[in-house]
């Protein structure tokens, strides 16, 4: 597609119903010429001096408000019993966001791919049973409507951060969207991806720093704490730190969570499994229930009566 055709396509998008917004919001990107301005200036997700921060209320859980939010649960939903066991343990420490993968983005096509729509049913049942809020990943634009009919928050995974048709599709639902940073994406690319969701009509956008690829191999990825501080400073969006996919290990969960919150994160995402060695995905990074308890205590979440 030529550059001109791409801009015409963008005009069509912006003029379409539900895409209300100034074209300048997009066109300003990369064209900032005033000295001292950031390439993100002009984006609607960015914060202007007179503006406050977005607080997203999902069934009473306020993401971006003063108290940190916890998003916890297994990497993959493996059965209803497994999800219920983990969710019951988690819910002892607060009314949290329950995570669990139904459609899994696996590196190997031979690895467990998730239970799909059956897992969505388990997620909804368990979340409603325990009065939790649910989040799960959607990978395919054709599955957005299905996933949105079960989950309270839609997650865009790291591998799909720059899947623009998918970003537009989640933007037209009325569900909050959590946009993970691509593991090789710059902050600018990440923020522009959020702008795609916003231009499609998405109002409730959460950013998630989940670690980027660096030369370091002691951790699976490198949690970019400076990115947390920067997007908190420059955008109005709440930011969650995923301490599981960034570290790829469990032994530094507590200091990573503390570092993320100290840098301004509005909460943490963490994978929890009742028997991590037997997990069908990411078994090295999922906390067991005792480790989750220790994390909650370290973050001052007292067990509920
Ligand atoms: C996940 O949270 O289930 C996941 C696959 O994470 P990421 O997209 O960050 O790799
Ligand atoms: Mn995982």
Query: What are the start and end residues of each CATH 3.20.20.70 domain in the chain?
Result: 55-298
**What integer is the mean pLDDT of 271-288?**
98
Instruction: Measure the CA–CA gap between 123 and 137, rounded to whole angstroms.
Output: 12
Ligand 1 binding pocket includes 210 (Cβ within 6 Å) = yes
Contact by Cβ (8 Å): 135, 97: yes
Q: What is the pLDDT of residue 38?
A: 63
Q: Using one digit for the tens of pLDDT, what is the confidence trace for 183-206?
A: 999 999 999 999 999 999 999 999
Q: Which of 209, 210, 220 to mutate to test the pocket of ligand 1 (most atoms within 8 A of CB)?
A: 210
Could you read off the pLDDT of 131-163 as tens digits, one per residue?
999 999 999 999 999 999 999 999 999 999 999
Pocket test for ligand 1, best of 99, 101, 111, 136 (most atoms within 8 A of CB): 101
Residue identifier of the C-alpha nearest atom 9 of ligand 1: 158
Binding site membership of 157 for ligand 1 (Cβ less than 6 Å): yes
The DSSP secondary structure of 80-117, one letter per residue, reads: HHHHHHHHHHHGGG-S-EEE-BSS---SSTTS----TH
Residues 229-234 have a mean pLDDT of 96
Q: Mean pLDDT score of the chain, rounded to an integer? A: 90
Q: Please choose from 98, 107, 137 the residue to mutate so as to test ligand 1's pocket, defined by most ligand atoms within 8 A of CB.
A: 137
Q: Report the distance separating Cα 208 and Cα 174, nearest Å.
A: 19
Q: Which of 22-31, 154-163, 175-184 has the lowest mean pLDDT?
A: 22-31
Q: How many CA atoms lie within 13 A of 190 on its CB side?
A: 31
- Cα(171)–Cα(247) distance, integer angstroms: 29
Lowest mean pLDDT among 21-35, 113-127, 178-192, 215-229: 21-35
The finding on whether 281 has its CB within 6 A of some atom of ligand 1 is no
Ligand 1 and 148: CB distance under 6 A: no
Task: Determine contact, residues 98/132, Cβ cutoff 8 Å.
Answer: yes
The token duo for 30 is 């990369």
CATH topology of domain 55-298: TIM Barrel (3.20.20)
Q: What is the mean pLDDT of residues 275-291?
A: 98
Q: With pLDDT > 90 as the criterion, what percentage of the chain qualifies?
A: 84
Query: pLDDT at residue 42 above 60?
Result: yes
| pLDDT band at residue 304 using 50, 70 and 90 as cut-offs | confident
Helices (H), the chain: 3-15, 24-27, 80-90, 117-129, 144-148, 164-171, 187-199, 225-234, 243-247, 253-262, 289-298
Instruction: Point out the ligand 1 atom lying closest to the alpha carbon of residue 180.
Output: 9
Which atom of ligand 1 is nearest the CA belonging to 76? 3
Distance 115 CA to ligand 2 centre (A): 14
pLDDT given at position 305: 74
Per-residue pLDDT averaged across 217-243, rounded?
97
Calpha distance 114→281 (Å, rounded): 9
26 has a pLDDT exceeding 70? no
Handedness of CA 149, 17, 166, 195 (dihedral sign): negative
| Ligand 1: residue whose CA is nearest its atom 10 | 158
For ligand 1, is residue 136 a contact (CB within 6 Å)? no
Q: What is the pLDDT of residues 237-257, one digit of tens each?
A: 999 999 999 999 999 999 999
Please give the distance, rounded to the nearest whole angstrom, from the Cα atom of residue 80 to the centre of ligand 1: 21
**What average pLDDT does this structure show over 95-116?**
97
Q: What band does 164 get if pLDDT is binned at 50, 70 and 90?
A: very high
Stated length of the chain: 305
Residue 278 vs residues 56, 273, 288: alpha-carbon distances, Å: 35, 9, 11
Given pLDDT bands bounded at 50, 70 and 90, which one contains residue 19?
very low
Relative to the CA of 211, which ligand 1 atom is closest? 9
Q: Which ligand is nearest to the CA of 71?
A: 1
Longest alpha-carbon distance in the chain: 62
Q: Has residue 110 got a pLDDT over 80?
A: yes
Cα radius of gyration rounded to whole Å, the chain: 19
Q: How many CA atoms lie within 13 A of 136 on its CB side?
A: 34
User: Using 50, 70 and 90 to split pLDDT, how confident is the model at 39?
Assistant: low
Structure tokens at 158: 């790291």
Q: Is the CB of 220 under 6 A from ligand 1?
A: no
Which whole-number Å values give the CA distances from 151 to 13, 59, 100, 121, 301, in the listed order? Answer: 27, 12, 10, 9, 25
At 72, give phi and psi (nearest 5°).
-140, 155
Ligand with an atom nearest the CA of residue 136? 1
């Amino acid at each position: 597609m030529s550059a001109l055709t791409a801009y015409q396509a963008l005009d069509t998008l912006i003029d379409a119903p539900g895409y209300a917004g100034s074209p300048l919001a997009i066109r300003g990107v990369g064209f900032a010429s005033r000295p001292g301005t950031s390439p993100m200036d002009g984006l609607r997700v960015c914060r202007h001096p007179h503006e406050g921060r977005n607080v997203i209320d999902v069934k009473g859980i306020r993401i971006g408000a003063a108290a940190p939010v916890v998003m916890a649960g297994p990497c993959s939903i493996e059965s209803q019993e497994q999800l219920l066991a983990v969710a019951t343990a988690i819910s002892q420490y607060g009314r949290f966001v329950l995570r669990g993968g139904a459609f899994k983005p696996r590196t190997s096509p031979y690895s467990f791919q998730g239970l799909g729509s059956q897992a969505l049913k388990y997620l909804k049942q368990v979340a409603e049973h325990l009065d939790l809020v649910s989040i799960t990943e959607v990978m395919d634009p054709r599955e957005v409507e299905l996933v949105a009919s079960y989950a309270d928050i839609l997650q865009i995974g790291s591998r799909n951060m720059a899947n623009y048709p998918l970003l537009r599709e989640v933007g037209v639902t009325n569900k909050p969207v959590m946009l993970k940073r691509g593991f090789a994406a710059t902050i600018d690319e990440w923020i522009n991806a959020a702008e795609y969701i916003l231009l499609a009509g998405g109002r409730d956008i959460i950013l998630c720093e989940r670690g980027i690829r660096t030369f370091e191999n002691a951790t699976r990825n490198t949690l970019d704490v400076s990115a947390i501080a920067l997007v908190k400073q420059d955008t109005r969006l709440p930011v969650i730190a995923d301490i599981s996919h960034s570290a790829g290990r469990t032994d530094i969960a507590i200091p990573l969570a503390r570092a993320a919150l100290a840098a301004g994160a509005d909460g943490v995402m963490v994978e929890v499994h009742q028997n991590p060695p037997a997990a069908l995905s990411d078994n090295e990074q999922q906390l067991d229930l005792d480790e989750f308890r220790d994390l909650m205590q370290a973050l001052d979440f007292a067990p509920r009566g």
